[in-house]
Amino acid sequence: MAKKTMAAAAHELFSTLFQPRTTAPRPPPRLSPTVHRCAPPAAGVAGAGTTLVVDVDGALLLSRSLFPYFMLVALEAGGFLRGLVLLLLCPAISSLAALAGRDLALRAMAAVAFCGLRASWFRAGRAVLPRWLLEDVAAEALEAARRVGDPARVVWASAMPRVMVEPFLREYLQVPAATAVAAREMKTVWGFYTGLMEEDGETMSELRKKAVEGDDDVVGFSGGSMEFLRSPLPSVCKELHVVSQEEKSKWRRLARRDYPKPLVFHDGRLAFRPTPLAAVAMYTWLPLGAALAVVRLAVALVLPYRHATAILAATGQSWRLRGALPPDSRGAGASGQLYACNHRTLIDPVYVSIALDRPVRAVSYGLSRVSDFISPIGRTVHLARDRARDGAAMALLLSGGDSVVVCPEGTTCREPYLLRFSPLFAELGGDGGVVPVALAAETSMFYGTTAGGWKGVDPFYYLSNPRMCYTVQFLDRVDTAPLREGKAASTDVANRAQRMIAEALGYECSMLTRKDKYLMLAGNDGAVRHGAK
């Protein structure tokens, strides 16, 4: 009797998980929409009683392939091994798309990219993908979606999982909370993604019901090949505007100045869009890049600057000086010189030292033990975010005649923006004032910074690039005498140095801080707690 009960329970569980429910209502019949080709919807299409459904993948994005976005999830959230598996399966996935349709191929990519990832730790949709999705937005498509009518009557539909596309739409395209996003959820078990996607969500089901029952006119906006007509979106539309590939090829990418919300922060290691060919090139380069990083590090640690820089330039690691060097204030009996630079990577002080051709002391709020150990300019002075203690530590270095390099932003920023400068450095300028230093770092494959990853390998990522270049520019000295005389505030001096560096680099000043960056990208305040496990 017990065996029969267990068998019946197992059969019921299997039926619940893997067989369709017989009590579920049948889906409404598929509509045959009226298709308008070659032009986006005209202004006022989504008027009273009309809902516009925008196909994010086909209309808003210029790229025809979604593979790079799933590769970004696989690499940034899962690691290089998971990315390699997805890359090796790319030919099979392409064949699957040709034979069985695009939706099955998307499900296969989602399975590889998401399976086994902890849902609570997944931040790639907010921290990594928006940077690449924004660069793929068509300005004409975004303008067409905005001018059709009330934003509350626009639905943004995507075949990608919700966790990939919704943060981009809400935060960077400023899609209001009242506007629906039709995207499928990723299934989870015990807090981990299974790699399986749910079927069409409530938004698409409601649209289909409205369209069939005639309660609402649903107009679709897509672009690309007619393969789209086999997707779920046309089944909810009475009219469908499909822009041809020829017309779409004339569209332009959305300019940075036209972003609805400026892109200041983003995370991830890759500095390029991982298309299949680009990903193959990266995996081919990785073994050589790892060996080259070790060689470059050994050369920088062993040889003097004048010899090391020539050898490193031959390997692709170069730097250039823009403008003239500042006058040397040493030997006049004065205190050391303070240099305030913007923060691009952990090795900013190294290039300031190379440009000056003399040792400098770097101060930092947080640096890994690995980065500190391999620093070619010696041990970094760690700050504790205690104003009195940090000021005393830097004042001690300056009184000893050291050249001190400080990054008042407190954290790195990849985009052409400067974060708010801490005014503490302005109070320590002494008789020599403060010399602002404008730094620009160019990389080709990997970023040398991270907010959510292991910071100990940041220098190795930077050194493994095929080529990179640092630009160093010393600006006019900022006099801090008015500050000591009580005629100016420290914030005024800090803001002046920030504006000078921004003008030299062509960047924009902001009032964002380290805390803002880490709250967005890593979900914490960015404070380094020494001694914590």
> pLDDT tens for residues 339-371?
999 999 989 999 999 999 888 988 887 677 777
Q: How many CB atoms lie within 10 A of CB 132?
A: 19
Q: How many CB atoms lie within 10 A of CB 258?
A: 11
| Distance separating alpha carbons of residues 144 and 496, to the nearest angstrom | 41
Tokens of 118: 């902890």
Residue 533 predicted with pLDDT over 50:
no
Which has the minimum average pLDDT: 193-197, 226-230, 520-524? 226-230
| Distance separating alpha carbons of residues 487 and 508, to the nearest angstrom | 27
Cβ(322)–Cβ(471) below 8 Å: yes
Place of tokens 């990418």: 253
Place of tokens 């500190």: 372
- Whole-number mean pLDDT of the chain? 83
| CA-closest candidate to residue 351, choices 323, 324, 375, 315 | 375
Quick one: how far is CA 128 from the chain centroid?
3
What average pLDDT does the segment 478-483 reach? 84
* Domain covering 29-249 assigned CATH 3.40.50 in the classification: yes
Residue 425's pLDDT is what? 85
Residue 222 predicted with pLDDT over 90:
no
Evaluate whether 29-249 and 276-521 have a shared fold.
Answer: no
Quick one: how far is CA 190 from the chain centroid?
28
Query: Over the Cα atoms of the chain, what is R_g?
Result: 28
C-alpha dihedral sign at 115, 120, 121, 124:
positive
Beta bridge partners of 270: 446
Percent of the chain with pLDDT over 70: 81
Residue 13's pLDDT is what? 41
Query: 501 pLDDT band (50/70/90 cuts)?
Result: very high
Listed in sequence order, the residues at least 6 apart from 427 whose beta carbon sits closer than 8 Å to its beta carbon are: 391, 480, 483, 490
26 or 34: whose pLDDT is higher?
34
Residue 150's pLDDT is what? 66
Residue 510 predicted with pLDDT over 70:
yes
Query: 480 pLDDT band (50/70/90 cuts)?
Result: confident
Domain positions in the chain: 29-249, 276-521
| Distance separating alpha carbons of residues 327 and 404, to the nearest angstrom | 15
- The burial class, CB within 10 Å (0-12 / 13-18 / 19+), for 229 is middle
Residue 90 predicted with pLDDT over 70:
yes
| Distance separating alpha carbons of residues 483 and 160, to the nearest angstrom | 55
Residue 219's pLDDT is what? 80
Tokens of 450: 């991270």
Cβ(224)–Cβ(66) below 8 Å: no
Residue 334 predicted with pLDDT over 70:
no
Query: 211 pLDDT band (50/70/90 cuts)?
Result: low
Query: 165 pLDDT band (50/70/90 cuts)?
Result: very high
Residue 76's pLDDT is what? 95
For residue 325, report the phi and psi dihedrals to the nearest 5 degrees. Answer: -75, 150
| Distance separating alpha carbons of residues 118 and 83, to the nearest angstrom | 17
| Distance separating alpha carbons of residues 227 and 237, to the nearest angstrom | 16
Cβ(417)–Cβ(257) below 8 Å: no
Residue 24 predicted with pLDDT over 50:
no
What CATH number does the domain located at 276-521 have? Answer: 3.40.1130
Residue 23's pLDDT is what? 43
Listed in sequence order, the residues at least 6 apart from 169 whose beta carbon sits closer than 8 Å to its beta carbon are: 56, 156, 175, 181
| Distance separating alpha carbons of residues 274 and 283, to the nearest angstrom | 11
| HEC-encoded secondary structure of 383-447 | CCCCHHHHHHHHHHHHHCCCCEEECCCCCCCCCCEECCCCHHHHHHCHHHCEEEEEEEEEECCEC
Q: What distances in angstroms separate CA 221 from CA 40, 237, 440, one per listed residue?
A: 7, 10, 41
| Distance separating alpha carbons of residues 390 and 363, to the nearest angstrom | 9
What average pLDDT does the segment 422-451 reach? 88
Most confident of 287-301, 351-365, 374-388: 287-301
Cβ(137)–Cβ(254) below 8 Å: yes
Residue 457 predicted with pLDDT over 70:
yes
Cβ(441)–Cβ(468) below 8 Å: yes
> Whole-prediction pTM value?
0.86
Span 230-285, pLDDT tens digits: 566 666 777 788 888 888 888 999 999 999 999 999 999 999 999 999 999 999 99
Tokens of 494: 């800090």
Residue 30 predicted with pLDDT over 80:
no
Place of tokens 């029969």: 4
512 or 35: whose pLDDT is higher?
512
Residue 126 predicted with pLDDT over 90:
yes
Residue 443 predicted with pLDDT over 60:
yes
Number of separate helices (H) and strands (E) present in the chain: 20, 17
428 or 95: whose pLDDT is higher?
95
Residue 25's pLDDT is what? 46
